[in-house]
Amino acid sequence: MSNTFGRVLCVTTFGESHGPAIGCVIDGFPPGLEIGADEIHAHLMRRATGQSRWTSQRREAEDVQILSGTFEGRTTGTPIALLIHNTDARSKDYSRIAAQFRPGHADYTYHHKYGIRDYRGGGRSSARETAMRVAAAALARKYLKQQLGVEITGWLAQLGEEVCDEHFDAAVIDTNPFFCPDAGRVPVLEEYMKRLWKSGDSVGALVKARATAVPVGLGAPVYAKLDGDLAAAMMSINAVKGVEIGAGFGSVAQKGTEHRDEISPTGFESNHAGGVLGGISTGQPLELAVAFKPTSSLRLPGRTVDAAGEPVEIVTTGRHDPCVGIRAIPIVESMLALTIMDHYLLHRAQCGDVPPQQPRIPG
C-alpha cells in the first residue's frame, strides 16, 4: 500500500534511481480518454533534469512507454502501466559513499529500517521516482481539463530569500528555467544561482500552485478531506518540509473577521480558505504553498559517520541541483492534479456526478 497514491484512482510507482527502469501503474482510470506517449513525454520534459544549467546535469531521454491499459489510443478502464528505462545512471559516482550516511539524506533511515539499501543515487529515495508522478498526472490533467475545465498552475514563489511572485504573470512561468511568474525577477534569480553555484552551497524554495474550475463538493470529511489528502500528497514529494492551504501559517495572526471569506450573491469576497472549507472544495481556486528544503548533496564537506560508526567527512561529487525546489514545480502540479481527480471520482461514487453547470454562488 505504501507505494500507491490515491483512494479510487490508484497510482503505484516503482523503481530506483540507478535500477534498470522506473514505472507506474494507474488503476481505476476512466475509460475513453485519448492519450499518447508523446503527450506524457511533453510533461516529463518539463520536469526533466538537465533542462537548464541550474538543475541536475543528469540527462534522461524520458522515453516513456505505455505498456497496458490503452487500445487504439484510448484508455480502456484497465490498469495503465508506464515505463521509462534509466539510461543515464552513472553508478560509479556513488560507489565511494556506499558505506556512509550522507547528512540530510535517507541513507541512514533506509539502512536502519530495511537493513539493506540500494545506495546508488539514493535508490528509491531519489527524486527520480517523481517522474512517474508527472507521467501519471499527464492523464489526470487531460481528463480534468476535458471533463471539468480544470487548469493547474505552479510557480516559484521564493528562491532562498528572494521572493519571485510579487508580480504575477502566468504567461511568464514557462518562459524561464525558474518557473518564475515575474519576468523582471529572472535576471536576479540567475545572478543568485550563479553565486550559489560558485559557493558550493544550496538553498530552499517556496513553490505555490493553483487549480481553477474545481467544482464545489470535492473532498470527503473527515479523514479524506481534500486539504488533508493534498497535504499528504505534497509532503510525499522529496525534500518537502511544509504545506499550506490558502492563508496557511499567515492565518495564525489573522483575526476571524479578516480570515473568514464573506459571501455575496455573486460569490466569495476573498479566498483565505484556499478553496476548501470543512475539507470540501468551495468552487473557488484551490491554492497552496509548499516549502522545499535545500539540497543536501553538496560538494562542501560535511561530517557524518560510516556504517561502522566511525566519523568521516563526506563530499558529494555527483550531479545535483543547488535548488531542488525549482524542478519540483511540475511535481507539485502533478500531485495537485492526481488528488483532485481522485476526489472527483470518489465524489461520483457517493454522490453521483457533479452538476454539469456549477452552482451559481451561493445557490
Question: Pick from 8, 45, 186, 188: which binds a copy of itself (CB under 8 A)?
Answer: 8
Q: Quote the least distance from Cβ 171 to a copy of itself, whole Å.
A: 25
Q: At what angle do helices 329-351 and 130-148 cross, to 10 degrees?
A: 50
Q: Is residue 107 exposed (0-12), middle (13-18) or buried (19+ Cβ within 10 Å)?
A: buried
Residues 6+ apart with CB under 8 A from 3: 12, 13, 14
- At residue 296, the 3 state secondary structure works out as coil
| Residues in a beta bridge with 314 | 302
Question: Pick from 121, 181, 217, 285: which binds a copy of itself (CB under 8 A)?
Answer: 217
149 is in an annotated binding site: no
CB 317 within 8 A of CB 93: yes
Instruction: Considering only the stretches 47-55, 70-78, 174-182, 326-334, report the one whose residues sit in contact with a copy of itself under the rule CB under 8 A.
Output: 70-78
Is residue 241 part of the contact set for a copy of itself (CB under 8 A)?
yes
Residue 227 carries which side chain, given as an amino acid letter? D
Binding mask 14-33 for a copy of itself (x = CB under 8 A): xxx--xxxxx-x-xxxxxx-
CB-wise, 116 or 175, nearer to a copy of itself? Answer: 116
Residue 277 carries which side chain, given as an amino acid letter? L
Q: Enumerate residues 286-305 that contact a copy of itself by CB under 8 A.
A: 291-296, 298, 300, 302-305
Is residue 318 part of the contact set for a copy of itself (CB under 8 A)?
no
Distance of CA 73 to the CA centre of its chain: 27
CB-wise, 47 or 105, nearer to a copy of itself? Answer: 105
Q: Enumerate residues 132-191 that contact a copy of itself by CB under 8 A.
A: 158, 160-161
CB-wise, 175 or 232, nearer to a copy of itself? Answer: 232
Residue 108 carries which side chain, given as an amino acid letter? Y
Is residue 114 part of the contact set for a copy of itself (CB under 8 A)?
yes
CB-wise, 171 or 253, nearer to a copy of itself? Answer: 253
**CA–CA dist 351, 71 (Å, integer):** 30
**CA–CA dist 106, 119 (Å, integer):** 10
296 is in an annotated binding site: yes
123 backbone dihedrals φ, ψ, rounded to 5°: 55, -125
297 is in an annotated binding site: yes
CB 292 within 8 A of CB 209: no
Question: Pick from 202, 286, 337, 340: which binds a copy of itself (CB under 8 A)?
Answer: 202
Question: Pick from 59, 96, 112, 194: which binds a copy of itself (CB under 8 A)?
Answer: 112
Grid cell, residue 177, equals 528555467
Is residue 360 part of the contact set for a copy of itself (CB under 8 A)?
yes
195 is in an annotated binding site: no
Annotated binding site for FMN, which residues? Answer: 124-126, 238-239, 278, 293-297, 319
